[in-house]
Amino acid sequence: MYNQIASNKRKSVALVLIFILFVVGLGYVYGAVTRSGYVGMGFALVLSLGMALVSYFAGDKIALATAGARPIEKKDNAELVRLIENLSITQGFPTPKIFIIPDAAINAFATGRDPVHASVAVTTGALEKLDRQELEGVLAHELSHVKNFDIRLMTLVIVLVGIVSLVAGMMRNMFYLGGRRDNRDRDQLGGILMVVGLVMSILAPLFATLIQLAVSRRREYLADASGALLTRYPEGLARALEKIGREGQPLRAANDATAHLYIASPWGRAAHLFSTHPPLEERIKRLREMIV
């Protein structure tokens, strides 16, 4: 299990480093093609950082409101609160705010930029259809996201995706409008660089999205392993994921912007190339191969 956790961490770091290098390369090509240096790149960076700050400081409130989550206290569901309190004590951080999502689908998510500002939301379907060990496995998975600072990491990735999308859009506009340079200037830039710039402007957003999804899927594997280590019972989470897969029920408030937060796809459909989550079958298989 420790090997699985270490492997997932290394792969996540590698993916983010590749992403950063890709953004730097895109900025270099943009500056060379437009002869604007890093002005355009700087504009994209400032705008993306602005969006990221909103997501960083208010993203949890937006996600909870989008899901229709309502806060609860111990008197509302003492068993749920005790489970989260015990897991939080074991993790060594404060008990997060607890929310209920009135939805029959089995799902849950955690949000918050750090353990002090964390929140956990669970659907009524999860509370009704999961036994205690299964629910504990789901909650341990979500609290592991908080402990591993996954929300902070995904905010960084979203910043990079925003930069790529903005720069690629500006590059496409430049090519469509024909630019302001004459043919002599175009010759000096070189045909190869122009072709590279055009191809990158078209493919960059797709490539950036794929890296974002790869990071998201890798963090799900990490949270599975960390959660299983927390409960010392991987079978609980494995059974919960099996129930989610068999039911396949989507959330009423499913949203692309918050899909990566949930323990399983809120769309209730199988994993695919553009899925924020790895296949449930693979996650279950890995959990059952773990030795605690």
- Inter-residue contact 30 to 171 (CB < 8 Å): yes
- Structural contact between residues 122 and 100, judged by C-beta atoms closer than 8 angstroms: yes
Annotated catalytic residue: which of 73, 142, 247, 281? 142
Q: Has 142 been annotated as catalytic? A: yes
Rg (CA), the chain: 22
* Rounded CA separation 176/153 (Å): 35
Which residues carry out catalysis? 142
